[in-house]
Each structure stands twice: as C-alpha cells, then as structure tokens.
Amino acid sequence: MADNMNAQDQSGESWGAAVAEQDGSAAGMAPTAQSVAAAAFQDFGAAAHRGERQNDIDFILDIPVQLTVELGRTKISIKNLLQLAQGSVVELDGMAGEPMNVLVNGCLIAQGEVVVVNDKFGIRLTDVITPSERMRKLDK
C-alpha cells in the first residue's frame, strides 16, 4: 500500500511539473500548439503558391467515377415490368432530338447529343454545367 501511495505522489509531482511547464509555455518560453498549427497552415498556403498544389490534384486523377448518359426515364408498375420480354418497347419521357443528360456519380454535369463514331455510340457535349451551378444545386 505504501508503494501505491508513493506512485501516486510521484505521478502527482509529474502532473504538477507538466502543469508548470504548460504555464511556462503560455508565458512565451516554448511554442504553443496554436502557434505550431498556424505555422503549418502558413506552410501549406506557401506550398500552393509555389506550384506544389498541382501535385495534389494528380493524387485524385486516377479515381474512377461512374459516367451515365440518360436517354430518358419512365415509371411502370411491377406488373408491367414482369411482362417485359425480348422485343418489348418501353416508352421514355425523353423526346427524339432532345438533349440527353450526362451524370457523374448521379450528379448532372452536362447535356449532349448522340453521335456515332466508328460504329460506336458516343455523346457530343452541348452544354456543360459550371462547378458553381453544381454547388448551388447541392445546397438546395
């Protein structure tokens, strides 16, 4: 029990020393966590001005995203869905010649028209939504 009391006294002394050290650092003897954090953010800002920010965007360029071109949509009942077979036609709400929506991960980014290149379908973008417009839509 006496050993236990000595351990508590020693830990109390070390706690007191830590508090005294903290008080000393607040008086300007050592850098505070706030000044260290401020310096780190200043360095980050300086790195962006030196052109190192370009390397930051390179980090995300290889992230895959899902690109979807939407011809149109429709709602049908489960009964009608179960009756679909090969050769069935599903009417969509999009009109022929109307621009198609281009979505990235479900978010509308552009509209375009169908083109055929080397026997493959493609889309020619006719209207691209600006990043500020996309952010405004997210806020709603």
Rounded Cα–Cα distance for residues 112 and 100 (Å): 5
What confidence tier does 133 reach under pLDDT thresholds 50, 70, 90? confident
Task: State the pLDDT at residue 41.
Answer: 57
- Mean pLDDT comparison of 9-13, 38-42, 53-57, 122-126, highest-scoring range: 122-126
Contacts of 103 (CB under 8 A, 6+ apart): 67, 68, 69, 70, 109
Supply the pTM of this predicted model.
Answer: 0.50
What confidence tier does 14 reach under pLDDT thresholds 50, 70, 90? low
Checking if the pLDDT of 46 tops 70, the result is no
